[in-house]
Structure formats: C-alpha cells, structure tokens
Structure 1
Amino acid sequence: MRNNEMHEAGQGVLEDGHGRRFYYLRLSVTDACNFRCDYCLPEGYRARAGEAAPLSVAEAATAMRAFARLGTRKVRLSGGEPSLRADLPDIIAAARNTPGIRRVAVTSNGYKLPKVIDEWRRSGLDQLNISIDSLDAAEFARITGHDCLPRIRTGIDRALELGVQTKVNAVLLSDGATERLQQFLDWLRDTPVTLRFIELMQTGDNRDYFASNHLRGDTIERQLIESGWQLLPRAIDAGPAREYAHPDYRGSIGLITPYSRDFCQSCNRLRVSAQGKLHLCLFADAGLDLREEIRRGDVAALAERIQTLVGGKAASHYLQQGQTGATRNLSVIGG
C-alpha cells in the first residue's frame, strides 16, 4: 500500500457521544424503485419536484474515501433499487478501490440480477442482499407488484456460483407468518444463504399498514431457539442482525428487531442518501447536507465535518414511541 493510501485508509476512529464506533456505511445511490411493495411504495415510486440529482460516481467515491479515512471498513450500496443505475458497476469498483474498504455489498430487489450479477462480481462485489418477502410466487407478486420470483432465484443461484456471500431479506408480516417461515426453512436446509427476518418498521407513509401487519421478531426467535438454532458471534462491521445456525441446515437465519429494548446500543452504521445527506439514524428528523464538501472533492474536510456531525448522534431512534422522523418510506435511504 502506498503512503498516501495508508494515510487515507482508516487512520481515524468514528465515534459518537455514546461511545459507539462506526465501521459500516450504507450509501444510497438512488431513491427510485421499480417495485410497489405493500409496506413501502404501494402506489409506486414518484419523484419529488426539485429533488437534487443523485451522487455521481466521482462524488460517491469522495464520500467513501472520507468514511474510510475515519475507519469505515464496509460499504453497502443501496436504494431505492441500485440496479436502476447503469453506472452501478463503476460505483462498486470505486468502493472496491477505496483504501481501507474491506467489504463491498449491494442491496437489491433482484429484478435484474441474472443479467448483472457477473459484472457486479467482476467490479468487486463481495456480498449481496436480495429482498424476498415470500417464496410463494403468487404471494411475492401480490406484495411487490412483480411476478418475477423464479428469475430472482436464478440470479441468487448464479451469485452463489460466483462465490458472492448472499443474504435474503424478508420483512416480517403477521398474516401468514407461520407458512412463510416453514417455506424458508425448507429452502435453507439445502441453500447456503443467510435469511434475515426484518421487523416491519413504521414510517411516515405506512402507519395504518404497520398497525395491521407488525409482528415482533422475538416471536420467531423463540421458535428458532426451541428448535435448536444457535446464536453466532457478531463481526465488528456486521449489520444489526442476530444470526443463528443449525447443524441440519446449510443456510442461516438472522433477525433484525428494531423495537427490541437494546437495539440501538450496538449501532455501528451510518447512512448517506443519494443526494449526499448524512443520516445519523434511519429515523432521524433530517439529513445533514454534505453535498458541498463532496462536490469540492476535499476528502480531509469532508471527513472532519462527518466526525463533527456524528458526535451529535442520538442515543436511540425512539421508534417505540412512534417517532419516525423524516423517513417517509424505506426507499429514501435504503432501509
């Protein structure tokens, strides 16, 4: 590693006022999405008038270098739906070529996956998260508005062939939860993916849907423990899931339970929106604009501003009190 790379690569430690350290950046590359999921964008994506253009490849690279300078080890490119950007492979490559970044991930709905996964892998992708809320094709189509589950599963099979660590995200919904769990367990017996059950979260746009469909993740967690699933150690740059394994299954199961009492104590991630706003929490009241520093390309100044802003991160998201902040829906900054 050259001297200038060593200077940029993780020389700082990004820490907030509560002693939490941040090694993981979720960088949204677009807030547009082509799915119409019931719990997120049931009417489909609608661009907002006057919305700034998303970060360019060069701007995204500047942001990632600044975070890496502060100790970030993992970058997840999210949306909206990242594959809607034709230049996503260039952003993946920029992440891969950022000194200090050890893991590059993408979260996608998988709609284009069979066509793009080989190029993503060549560009430097390590990890892939695909959203599948049901393995029943008809139910999947009803939830998302797209009848494409077989194509997505083909893309997952190809990702596994290429050696991409693959996770599947499933939002917990109360109606039909038992049947969906059994379908996923049957699949995981022979499929080496990590399934992550994510509690439905209340946002500004889904309050009624949340009230009718929310299911606590600890209900599923108790069933897993009673069936012999064992909790695995958590990596320093891992996401918020508590991950379980079972000797009879090739796949594993993680649970993300934002309504649990101590959820925020282990927070290790920060978010930057597609327009270059730092979100200290998924449910913060507002994003903090970094676009001016990003446009200047001054990595040192950007890192200094990020360090200052992170010091003001709140202790909790306060979802339990019904506070959803400025998050209208989860496509805005990637969930």
Structure 2
Amino acid sequence: MTSVAPPPARASADAAMLRDGFGRRIDYLRISVTDRCDLRCRYCMAEAMSFLPRRELLSLEELAELADAFIARGVRKIRLTGGEPLARRGLPDLAHDIGRHLKTGALDELTLTTNATRLAEQADALARAGIRRINVSLDSRDPALFRHITRTGDVAQVLHGIAAAKAAGLAIKINMVALKGLNEGEIPAMVEWCGAQGFDFTLIETMPLGVVEEDRTDRYLPLDGVRRALEERFTLLPETHRTGGPARYVRVAETGGRLGFITPLTHNFCEGCNRMRVTVQGRLYMCLGHEDHVDLKQALREGGRAALDAAIDEALAHKPQRHHFQIAGRNAAPAVDRHMNVTGG
C-alpha cells in the first residue's frame, strides 16, 4: 500500500480546528473500514444482512487520505471500526499509514474495536503499526450463551485472539452490552475476570439502531440499576480516567480494575461529545443517533483538499446538540434505520 503524502501546513492552526455550532471541540474520529461482520449479534444486526457492494467502498488509500485531512484539522485520536475491521484485507497496512502521524506527534492515539475472531493472526501486525490499545466486544464467556447472542460465534476463538493481543503488548478493554435476561447474571464474573487479566471493562446500554428480529424492550437493561447491584458486591471508587469516548469510569477496589459505563439512555452524555464518524462509503455522520450526513467521497475524488475541508465545515455546522435515543415501548421503531455495522461502532 502506497503511503499518502503528509497534509500541507495550514495558515492558521486555530482556524483549522474542528468546532461545532455548540462550541464543542471535535478531536476524535471513528473510521469504519467495512460494514461486513462475521457475527450476527441479535441486538445489533438482522440474521439475514445485506452488505455494501465492494465497488461502493473507499479504498484503503482513500481512507488514509481522509485521516490525513482530519488530522490536519486537529483530530488527535482515530479509532478504526466496522462491521469487523479485521475482515477488511490490508487493515494493518491502513493502520501503518495512519500510524505514521503518531511518530510526528500530530496524532495522540490510534485504536481499534474488534470482535477478536481474527485477532490472533493480526495482533502482532497491529502492534507494529502503532496501535497500543484495542476494544474487544465480548458479551459472554459462556460458549452456549455467546453462540446464542452472536448466532454464529465461537467464544474460544475470541479468547484466543484476546490472549494473542495481550501477548503482543496491546492494552485491552472489554466491551459488554448489558442484555436483560441474557448476560446480566454474568456481569459480576466479568468484572472479576477482567480485573484478574488486567483488562479495563465497560458496560454498554443497548442502542435502538436498525431493525432487528427481537424487540429491544425485552433486552434493555438500564445501567443505573446494574451499578447499584454491583455496589452491593464491590467497592466502586471515583476514577478520573478518560479515554476520549463516552464511558465514565470507576475503580473496583477488590480487583484494582477500571469499570466503565456507557449510558446513552439513562444518562445522556452529549454535552461533551467530541466525536464524528466516517463510514466506508465516505459518509460523515455527525451523530450516531441522526440520519444527517455529509458525503465526503465526491469531495475526496473530485474536489481535492479544499472541497474536503468545505464538506467537513458543512458537517460541523449541522452537528446536532444531542441524540434522542429511547426505548419507547414494545415494537417501537428504531431511532435510525441503519444498523451499527453501517456507521461503525
């Protein structure tokens, strides 16, 4: 893969910075490299999914060029997502291209979210590319329950990938979507396992994105109640640690580990939003919970850097103040029609 030339210097660094209409500084970009995934998690995807034709995808070189443009505008952290990003051939090469900005100091961190099914083969290459920390989606360590939630998954394969990433020196955070009646009884054991392994652990409320076969009302588990239950078993201490995302952390005294909560429904966190998302089609979404987007593909292919900057500025002007996620009741329509794998986790 040919490296993209570094972005040209801008006349005014302050003028180039990304700031939305509510004064929020945007310094975190999530780039989805594919909408494809080898799992079919029940809360995330329909069992029979249609994926984008390959001709509609941005090339890895174009994704690297987009990253350059955002870094030139003040983005300090980039996360590679999907779908399952490791399903995209050449992903470590893209990480290497973007990772060169870590050496210059223009980028603070390059991270990855993965389901870890292909992590064992690629962990060393990711570490060489400059990735130092990854998030792994893992909703259960019980083989039968994991297969039920994912419809197809083998948890042993995932755990093998996690072990390989740990051996490669990558810091690991486990993300678990809290699902009523499915994995809620496993949460305390996951807290203990992550603490023993040296992994951070984050619980996430299910989000109403895309149409799925099951009613999300049946599985929605408010995390304020989960936290109260955990406080009966563990001592949760205040923690100032932040990763740039929406999680709010505590320290578990008994394990020494960090425990995070992502609560889009019970505690809206939009006032501090510093994020935007680019899909593999080149669509820039200003908010996960809104359909509004700006198409960067045409600007990238036909207009050059000036057109790309203008499109980014247009997106900033229309970034909403907040999402409006809610679990409104049985059989309610999702907040947006697109599934999480389209936008990127």
Same fold (TM over 0.5): yes
CA distance in 1, matches of 2:15, 2:21: 19
SS of alignment partner, residue 80 of structure 2: strand
Question: What are the within-5 Å matches in structure 2 for residues 83-232 of structure 1?
Answer: 83-98=86-101, 100-206=106-212, 208-225=214-231, 227-232=234-239
Instruction: State the aligned residue count.
Output: 332
Are residues 119 and 211 of structure 1, via their aligned partners in 2, closer, same or farther at CA, if it must alter by over 3 Å? same
Structure 2: state its 5+ residue gaps: 1-5
Structure 1: state its 5+ residue gaps: none
CA distance in 1, matches of 2:241, 2:311: 29
Corresponding residue of 2:56: 53
Tell me if the contact between 2:92 and 2:126 (Cα under 8 Å) persists in the aligned partners: yes
By how many angstroms is 1:64 displaced?
Answer: 0.6
Corresponding residue of 2:260: 254
Q: TM-score, normalised by structure 2?
A: 0.88
2:26 aligns with one of 10, 22, 26: 22
Are residues 142 and 300 of structure 1, via their aligned partners in 2, closer, same or farther at CA, if it must alter by over 3 Å? same
Q: TM-score, normalised by structure 1?
A: 0.90
SS of alignment partner, residue 130 of structure 1: strand
Are residues 78 and 182 of structure 1, via their aligned partners in 2, closer, same or farther at CA, if it must alter by over 3 Å? same
> Does 1:289 find its partner at 2:295?
yes
By how many angstroms is 1:32 displaced?
Answer: 1.0
CA distance in 1, matches of 2:43, 2:327: 20
SS of alignment partner, residue 25 of structure 1: strand
Tell me if the contact between 2:42 and 2:213 (Cα under 8 Å) persists in the aligned partners: no
SS of alignment partner, residue 30 of structure 2: strand
SS of alignment partner, residue 136 of structure 2: strand
Question: What are the within-5 Å matches in structure 2 for residues 236-315 of structure 1?
Answer: 238-296=244-302, 298-315=304-321
Most deviating of 295-304 and 3-12: 3-12
SS of alignment partner, residue 90 of structure 1: helix
Most deviating of 118-127 and 69-78: 118-127
Q: Which runs of 4+ in 1 moved over 6 A?
A: 5-11
Tell me if the contact between 2:296 and 2:308 (Cα under 8 Å) persists in the aligned partners: yes
Corresponding residue of 2:39: 35
Per-residue deviation, residues 58-85 of structure 1 (Å, max 9, x unmatched): 1111111111112111111111111111
Tell me if the contact between 1:8 and 1:68 (Cα under 8 Å) persists in the aligned partners: no
Per-residue deviation, residues 15-43 of structure 1 (Å, max 9, x unmatched): 11112111110000011111111112241
User: Percentage identity across aligned positions?
Assistant: 33
Corresponding residue of 2:3: none
Per-residue deviation, residues 260-292 of structure 1 (Å, max 9, x unmatched): 344211111100011000000112123321101
Are residues 296 and 80 of structure 1, via their aligned partners in 2, closer, same or farther at CA, if it must alter by over 3 Å? same
By how many angstroms is 1:231 displaced?
Answer: 3.0
Q: How large is the Cα RMSD of the aligned pairs? A: 2.5
